[in-house]
Amino acid sequence: AQSVTQLDSQVPVFEEAPVELRCNYSSSVSVYLFWYVQYPNQGLQLLLKYLSGSTLVKGINGFEAEFNKSQTSFHLRKPSVHISDTAEYFCAVSELRSTWGSSNYKLTFGKGTLLTVNP
């Protein structure tokens, strides 16, 4: 079964500093990988996704992530954060299976990382 580990539950940083939010996953099959952001009292917004191809994925709001298959990681990075980036960030994975079934499109989420950007 797939699982996702977000190594940091909280990450405080100062405005304009770089940030990396770490995500590791385990799966016995190929996966799709996602990062979502959630602002207070809102739903989840897709930041970026890795489906195939280039391992460096660029998303919205200046975020990017790199898929590392050997280390089973998908860390999220931003070179310079803003106050408005303060939010909860969730890493998620869905498994690709050769036989079509409900597990093909179920997401497994990490527990989330609260990014707090201070002035």
Partner 1 sequence: DAMVIQNPRYQVTQFGKPVTLSCSQTLNHNVMYWYQQKSSQAPKLLFHYYDKDFNNEADTPDNFQSRRPNTSFCFLDIRSPGLGDAAMYLCATSVGGKAQHFGDGTRLSIL
Chain positions contacting partner 1, by CB under 8 A = 32, 34, 36, 41-46, 49, 51, 90, 94-96, 102, 104-107, 109-112
To partner 1, the closest distance from the beta carbon of 112 in angstroms equals 6
Compare residues 34 and 81 and give the one whose CB is closer to partner 1.
34
Closest CA relative to residue 49, chosen from 79, 103, 88, 93: 93
To partner 1, the closest distance from the beta carbon of 71 in angstroms equals 22
To partner 1, the closest distance from the beta carbon of 72 in angstroms equals 18
Compare residues 107 and 119 and give the one whose CB is closer to partner 1.
107
Instruction: Name 115's Cβ contacts closer than 8 Å, sequence gap at least 6.
Output: 11, 13, 19, 21, 81, 85, 86, 87, 88, 89
